[in-house]
Structure 1
Amino acid sequence: MARERWLVDGYDLTDGLVRDVEYRAGLTATPAVVGANATVPNRIGELWRPKHFGPGKFTLALWLAPQSGGWQEVEAAWEDLLRMVARPHRLLTFERRTAAGQVRRCEGEVLSALTPTPLGQSGMRISLEVTVPAGYWVSADTSTQASTAGAAAPQDLALTAFADATAPMEQLAYLITGPITAPTVTDTTDGTGRDGDSFTYTGQIPAGQTLTVDAATWQLTGSGGLVPDPGRLTLTGPAVLRLAPGRPGSPPSVRLAGTNTGVSTQLAVTGRRAYLT
């Protein structure tokens, strides 16, 4: 097992000699849920409405210490830290490299005042309160998974490569290879009868052509000569497809449905896993 490391825009906060994370309190808090149910006059209770996560937040409690005993080294480390994190003109990329070897990233900003606590001449402590506007972290690596080409429709795809995600994933790309007419991709993570959001392309994808629906950019692109019509894309949710994380013991899953399929019909999903902490 390696030691956990934290980086900001590639700058290592945890070298173990001059800078390191002191304790983990505040690193595992989840974002608050945003949204409210609707109240109907003369009706008991409320009407439930779907909700989503708001911005995230975490706190890094660091210590700064001299490597060879001089207080000037502490001041130099403090000023280096200021150069890295006191940058209100843009978002910073925070990277957490876990002891298990996993790498997670988020874009955040330090909004609160930085008030270090000196420890005599032996160092100082500092807390970095980081706000994550997007609400969640993503994996550094990209995962891809595909259904069996030519399998009978509907094709069910268990996304085992995304099984450890803990946050909704709405920045994935869906690649649909023809032939297929009016393809529909549905989030089936929560089980039969409790399907989530879906999208439908009310057109035809001939054999040898592929339609890519990029949920991150809301763009449709084609390959093999396909020129997609964005006006043919219909959605059931607020995003192209907000894929729920898997339940304990089972991965997230999607289903490709449509007509006029063939031996090359296939669905592939690619993107980064999302995490609440």
Structure 2
Amino acid sequence: MARERWLVDGYELTEGLVRDVEYRAGLIATPPVIGANATVPNRVGELWRPKHHGPGKFTLALWLAPRTGGWQQVEAAWEDLLRVLARPHRLLTFERHTAAGQIRRCQGEVLSSLAPTPLGQSGMRLGVEVTIPSGYWEGTATVTNSSPAGTALPHALALAAFADATAPMENLAYRIDGPITAPTVTDTTDGPGGDSFTYTGQITAGQSLTVDSATWQLSGTGGLQPDPARLSLTGPAVLRLAPGRPSSPPSVRLSGTNGGPGTALTVTGRPAYLT
């Protein structure tokens, strides 16, 4: 088990002797759910509507203490924190090294006042409230899963590399290798009826189509020039992939017609986390 570490833009907060995280209350919390059900006149109850997460938030409870030099060193450590945290003109990169050895990263901002509590001449305590506008944390390493190439369709693909994700993922790239006509990629994590996207065109042998759900961009290789007008969606994003269940990773399915020996689906990106 590794020691948990916290960094902001590469500056380590958990130095250990001069500053560290004091306690974990408020450190781990999921973003609030946004959305509402619909009320229909003369109908009992409500009509359920899908929801999504709002901005995330966490609080770092830090302490500062002098190694040598007394209060002068505490003030110097405090001013270093100001140089790192008090930067409202841009988002900060927060990095958490977990006890399990993972590294998770988010873009956050410090919106509340920084108001430390002095502990006599021996140090100070400080609560840093961080808001994550995008809502989620991400892994730092890009991972990939691919289906075995082959003519038979559909291709079912279990995304083992994304098995530890706890949040929906809208930042993945889906590469479809031809030949295939009218390919559809469906989220089958919760069953066959998940969200999907379809490209109503043909990808010939030696060509590939990449659909980037983070940027909503289409790109092709082998001479393919994708037409964005041919892309249709069933959900609010290109494909909002649900996180897997315990002992079961997320999964997708590639379907279409006119497959061949090179037909395959590759999913690339970073897992997303609620905390």
Q: TM-score range by the shorter chain?
A: over 0.9
Gaps of 5+ in 1: none
d(CA) in 1 for partners of 2:47, 2:93 = 39
3-state secondary structure, aligned to 1:221: strand
Aligned equivalent of 1:116: 116
Aligned equivalent of 1:59: 59
Range with greater deviation from structure 2 (146-155 or 256-265): 146-155
Residue-by-residue CA offset, 1:79-112 (whole Å, 9 max, x unaligned): 0001110111111000001122100000011111
Aligned equivalent of 2:33: 33
Q: TM-score of the superposition, structure 1-length normalised?
A: 0.98
**Which one of 193, 200, 203 corresponds to residue 202 of structure 1?**
200
Gaps of 5+ in 2: none
Paired amino acid for 2:93: T
Aligned equivalent of 1:50: 50
Contact 1:149 1:266 (8 Å CA) reproduced: yes
Aligned equivalent of 2:14: 14
Residue-by-residue CA offset, 1:26-73 (whole Å, 9 max, x unaligned): 111101100000111111111111100000000000001111142110
Q: How far is the alpha carbon of 1:191 from its aligned partner? A: 2.3
Aligned equivalent of 1:167: 167
Aligned equivalent of 1:215: 213
d(CA) in 2 for partners of 1:7, 1:111 = 18
Aligned equivalent of 1:239: 237
Q: How far is the alpha carbon of 1:17 from its aligned partner? A: 1.4
Q: What are the residue-to-residue correspondences of 1:119-158 with 2, within 5 Å?
A: 119-150=119-150, 152-158=152-158
Paired amino acid for 2:271: R
Fraction of identical pairs, as percent: 80
Aligned equivalent of 2:190: 190
d(CA) in 2 for partners of 1:141, 1:232 = 32
d(CA) in 2 for partners of 1:151, 1:30 = 42
Residue-by-residue CA offset, 1:182-235 (whole Å, 9 max, x unaligned): 00000000124xx21100000000000110000000000001111100100000
3-state secondary structure, aligned to 1:244: coil
Q: CA RMSD in A?
A: 0.8
d(CA) in 2 for partners of 1:26, 1:208 = 52
Counting matched residue pairs gives: 275
